Amino acid sequence: MITTYHLANADGAHFSPHAWRTTMALAHKGLEHESRGVAFTEISTICDGERKIVPTIEDGERVLSDSWAIALHLEDSVTSGRSLFGGEKGKAHALFINNWASFGLQPLLLQIMILELFERLQDRDKVYFRESREKRFGRSLEDHAALADEARQRLPAMLSPLSMTLNSQTWLGGDVPSYADYIALGAFQWVRTSSSFDLPGFAGEKVSAWHDAMLDLHDCLARTNT
C-alpha cells in the first residue's frame, strides 16, 4: 500500500495544498493509501531521512516528493484507473494550472490568511515557520499580513481564469475532472483548513458550485481530514 505524508496542523487537519493534489490523484487512480500527518519540523525524519518537502509518498521501495513528480509517476506507472491528464495535451494544460496555482494564486492567498494559518500550526512548528517565512519575505508575518487588503483586491483577477473556464464547462478537465481540477482544489483546501476566509463564496457562483462538486468526489474525500 502507498503511504503518503502530509502536513498536519494543531487540529490534525491536512492543510498542504500540494499534498491535497496528491491525495486526490491517488483516489482518481483508484489506489488505496495510508495518510500520515506530520509537522513541518518532522519532515526530515520521514522515509529515508532526506526529504525536505511534502507531499512525499512511499510506493514500495520508491520514495518520491513533489506533487507534480508524483502525478507523473502515478500516470506512467499505474495502468489501472482513469488517466489523470487525458493525454499529452492534458498534461501540458495541467502544467499551466500547476504554475498558475503555485506562483500566482497561492501567494495571494497566503497574504490573506498567513496569521490564521500560523496560529493553527502545531506549537513545535511555529518558530520554524516564522523564521523561515520572514527570511523568505524579508519582513515579519504581521507586515506580510498587512498586505491582505491589497491581495483581496487583486484576487478577482487571479481567479478570473478559473471562473471564466467554469462558465463554459463543468470541470477544468472538461466533461470529467482531471489533475488540473485537483491542483486548483488544493489551493481551496489550504484556505478551508487554515483560515476563516470563504474563498468559494468570494470566487462566485460557478466556482462555488465546482468546489462543492469537488468536495463530493471520491466518497467526499476532500471533506475528510479537515
- pLDDT (tens digit, 9 = 90+) per residue, 52-93? 899 999 988 899 999 999 999 999 998 877 999 999 999 999
Which residues of the chain are in CATH 3.40.30.10 domains?
2-77
Q: In this model, does residue 198 exceed pLDDT 70?
A: yes
- Give the pLDDT of residue 61: 86
Grid cell 496555482 is found at 101
Q: Average pLDDT in the 82-110 region?
A: 97
- Give the pLDDT of residue 92: 98
| Residue 73, Cβ density class (10 Å: 0-12 exposed, 13-18 middle, ≥19 buried) | middle
CATH of domain 88-223: 1.20.1050.10
Q: Average pLDDT in the 193-207 region?
A: 98
- Give the pLDDT of residue 30: 94
Grid cell digits, residue 20: 491535497
Secondary structure class of 56 (helix, strand, coil): strand
Number of helical (H) and strand (E) elements in the chain, helices listed first: 10, 4
- Name 205's Cβ contacts closer than 8 Å, sequence gap at least 6: none
Q: Average pLDDT in the 196-214 region?
A: 98
Nearest to 180 by CA among 79, 101, 76, 88: 101
Q: In this model, does residue 99 exceed pLDDT 90?
A: yes
Strand-pair category, 2-7 with 56-59: antiparallel
Which residues of the chain are in CATH 1.20.1050.10 domains?
88-223
pLDDT 10s digits, 175-186: 999 999 999 999
Cα 189 to chain centroid, rounded: 6
Nearest to 18 by CA among 49, 64, 78, 77: 64
Per-residue pLDDT band for 226 (boundaries 50, 70, 90) equals: low
Backbone angles phi, psi at 49, to 5 degrees: 75, 5
pLDDT 10s digits, 116-172: 999 999 999 999 999 999 999 999 999 999 999 999 999 999 999 999 999 999 999
CATH class entry, domain 2-77: alpha beta
